[in-house]
A and B are shown apart, each in its own frame.
Chain A
Amino acid sequence: MTEDNFEEFLKKAAQSYNAPPARTPREDMWSAIQAQRAAGPRVVYGGGGGSATRESSGRRFGSKIWLGAAAAAVLFLVTGVGIGRWTASPGSTTSVTAAGPPQTPSSPDSTPGRSTGAVPELGRAVASTGMGAGAQTSPASTGGARETIANGGNGGRVARDGSSTNPGSSSAYQITAVRHLSEAEALLTSFRTRTTTDQQMDAQLGSWARDLLSKTRLLLDSPVANDPQRRPLLEDLELVLVQIVQLSPGSTPQDRELIEKTLQQDHVMTRLRTAIPAGPQRGS
Chain B
Amino acid sequence: MGLLAYESRSSVNDIELITRVVAGDAAAERELYETYVDRIYRLTFRLAGDDELARDFTQATFIRAFEKIGSFRGESSLSTWLHSIGVSVSLNGLRKTKRLRNREAPMEEGLTVGAVPVEAEPDLKEKLARAIDSLSDKYRTVFVMHDVEGYTHDEISGTLNIPVGTSKSHLFQARSKLRVALADFAPEWAS
Contacts and interface: CB of A to CB of B under 8 A. Distances in A.
Contact of A243 (B37, B41, B63, B169): B169
A46 B179 CA distance: 47
Interface in B33-57: 33-34, 37-38, 41-42, 45-49, 51, 54-55
A19 B106 CA distance: 25
Interface stretch (A7-15, A108-116, A172-180, A182-190): A7-15
Indicate the size class of the contact surface on chain A. 35 or more
Interface residues of B, number: 59
Nearest to B44: A20
Contact of B165 (A2, A29, A239): A239
Chain A contact residues: helix, strand, loop or mixed: helix
B147 A47 contact: no
A262 B49 contact: no
Nearest to B45: A20
A36 B59 CA distance: 9
A253 interface: no
B58 A29 contact: yes
Interface in A132-147: none
A4 B185 CA distance: 15
Given A9-B188, A13-B128, A18-B144, 5 more contacts: A2-B189, A20-B41, A32-B59, A48-B68, A243-B169
Interface of B: 21-22, 24, 30, 33-34, 37-38, 41-42, 45-49, 51, 54-55, 58-59, 62-63, 66-71, 114, 116, 118, 121, 124-125, 128-129, 132, 143-144, 147-148, 163, 165-166, 168-169, 172-173, 175-176, 178-180, 182, 185, 188-191
